[in-house]
Structure 1
Amino acid sequence: MHASPVPGTEGYADNAGQLITRYTGVIAADKYKVVSHLLPRRAGAVLDIGAGTGADSAWLASLGHKVVAVEPVAAFREAGMRAHASPDIEWVDDSLPALSVMTARETRFDLVVLAAVWMHLAAEERSAAMENIGQLLKPGALLVMSLRHGPAPENRRIFDVSASETIALAARHHLKVVLSAQAPSVQQQNRHAGVSWSWLVFQR
C-alpha cells in the first residue's frame, strides 16, 4: 500500500467505486481498434502499465499473451484480481516514472501498453518514465500509448501532452514511431464531453 497517492493517481482512489463500474463497460477490443493490427500475433510477454481494473490485460491474455498488470491504485488492482483471475495475468503494485519493481526484475517484454496513463505525468516524470520503459522492451518490441485530449475531471492531475512532443521524446530514447492516429473516445460520456485520443505505437 502506498502511504500517499502516487503522482498521477490523484482522484482515482476517491472515486474508485464509480470508476470501476464505468471501466467494466469498456470493451478493450473496441478501445484498441486503431492499433490492433500492429499488436503481436504470436504469444509473448506483455506489460500493461496503469492496468486499472484489468480489462485490457484480460483481453491481451485472451489473445494468448502472458501479461504483467501494473497498477498502483489498490482498489483497482484488487477489483482486477477478482474480476480477471487468470494464471496468465500477474498483478504488480508499481508505478511510473521509476517502475522500480519492474526494472529491478530485469525482465524484457514483447509489448508494453500505456492506455490513458501518460498525460498524468509531469514533463520531468515523462522523461524519466520513457527511459525506464525503453529498458523494458526487447529489441523489436512495441510500445503502445494513448493520450487524452479535451476537458479533464476537476480532481484529476492531467497535463496537455501532444503526440508530437511524445514522438520527439521517444526518439531521444531510440524508439521509432510506427503509427500516430486520432480516435474518438469509446466511452459515450467522454465523447459528449469532447474527449478524444491520440494513439501512438513505437518500436524498439
Structure 2
Amino acid sequence: MDDRVSGGRVPASTAGYAEAAEELAVQYEGVTFEEVHREVLHLFPDRPGAVLDVGAGSGRDAAALAARGHRVVAAEPTAELRAVGTRIHAGRGIEWVDDALPGLPGLEARRFGLILLTAVWMHLDEGERAASMARLAGLLEGGGRVVLSLRHGPVPAGRRMFAVTAQETVDLARTCGLDLLHRAEREDPHGRPGVSWTYLGFAGP
C-alpha cells in the first residue's frame, strides 16, 4: 500500500471513503467521542501531551482530545475527509496531515504519548498490519499507549476490510514490544445490525 505523501496514490485501505465523505462525516459526528470510546476512556492521559489520531476521519476524536489540552496530529489520507474535518473543527488547534499507515512517513521524527486508531485496523491486510504495528511502536514516547478498535461484521459495499481477531492483534503487538492493558467488546455505537467492536489498549516500554 502506498502512502499518498510518498507514492502519490490513494491507499487501497481508504476505498469508498472519498465518495461518501460528507455523509460519513454526519455519521461520525452524530455520536460523541465519549460514547464511541466509553470502554477505553480511562486509558487516555489526563496530562496534556502529544497525540496522534491515525485515520482521523472527520476529526471528531481529534477535536475532543484537543479540547482536553492535548497537542493533536490528525493523520487522514482521504483529502475529502480532511477538507470536511478542517472545516467543521476549524480553530481547534488540530494539525492535519496527509499521511497513512503502514509507513506514516511524514511523521518520521515525531513521538507521541497516545496513538489512537478508530475503525482503522481492519482496513489493513496481514502484511500491512505487521508493518503498521512496528511503526506505531516506533512512534511512541517512553511509556506511551496505543488504543485501537476492531470492527466485526458485514463489510459495506465498496470498502476494503479484513477479518481481524483481537488475539491476532494482541500477539502482533507483543512482538513489537507492546503489552496489553485493556480489552473490551461492545455493540456498534451507531446501531448497525450485525456490527460489533473490540477495543484494545497497549502500553509501550
TM-score range, shorter chain: over 0.9
**TM superposition score normalised by structure 2:** 0.94
Paired residues, what number? 199
Residues 105-184 of structure 1: pairs in structure 2 closer than 5 A: 106-184=109-187
**Structure 1 residue 85 displacement after superposition:** 1.5
User: Which of 10, 29, 40 is 1:5 aligned to?
Assistant: 10
2: CA distance, partners of 1:43 / 1:7: 34
Partner residue of 1:19? Answer: 24
1:59 aligns with 2:64: yes
Structure 1 unpaired stretches of 5+: none
> Which letter does structure 2 place at the counterpart of 1:152?
V
Superposed counterparts of 1:32-47, under 5 Å: 32-47=37-52
> Match for residue 202 of structure 1?
202
Q: Secondary structure at the match of 2:145?
A: strand
Separation of aligned partners in 1, 2:54 and 2:22: 21
1:100 Cα offset (Å): 0.8
Question: 1:65–1:88: 8 Å Cα contact kept in structure 2?
Answer: no
Deviation at 1:140, TM superposition (A): 0.5
1:48 paired residue number: 53
* Gap runs ≥5 in structure 2: none
Alignment check: 8 A CA contact 1:48 1:68 kept: yes
Residues of 2 paired with 1:80 and 1:37: CA distance? 26
> In 2, Cα distance between the equivalents of 1:93 and 1:134?
20
Q: Secondary structure at the match of 1:13?
A: coil
Q: 2:181–2:202: 8 Å Cα contact kept in structure 1? A: yes
Among all aligned residue pairs of Structure 1 and Structure 2, give the percentage whose two residues are the same amino acid. 46
Q: Which deviates the most, 21-30 or 33-42?
A: 21-30
Alignment match, 1:98: 103
CA RMSD, Structure 1 to Structure 2 (Å):
1.3
Give the superposition deviation at 1:51.
0.1
Q: Residues 142 and 203 of structure 1 are in contact (CA less than 8 Å); yes or no, is this contact kept in structure 2?
A: yes
Q: Distance in 1 between the 2:92 and 2:160 partners?
A: 33
1:146-170 CA distances to partner (integer Å, 9 max, x unpaired)? Answer: 0000111021100000000000000
Confirm or deny: 8 A CA contact 1:57 1:67 kept in the other structure: yes
Runs of 4+ in 1 over 3 A off after TM superposition: 1-4
Pairwise CA distance, 1:87? 5.2
> Which letter maps to 1:59?
A
| CA shift for structure 1 position 38 | 1.6
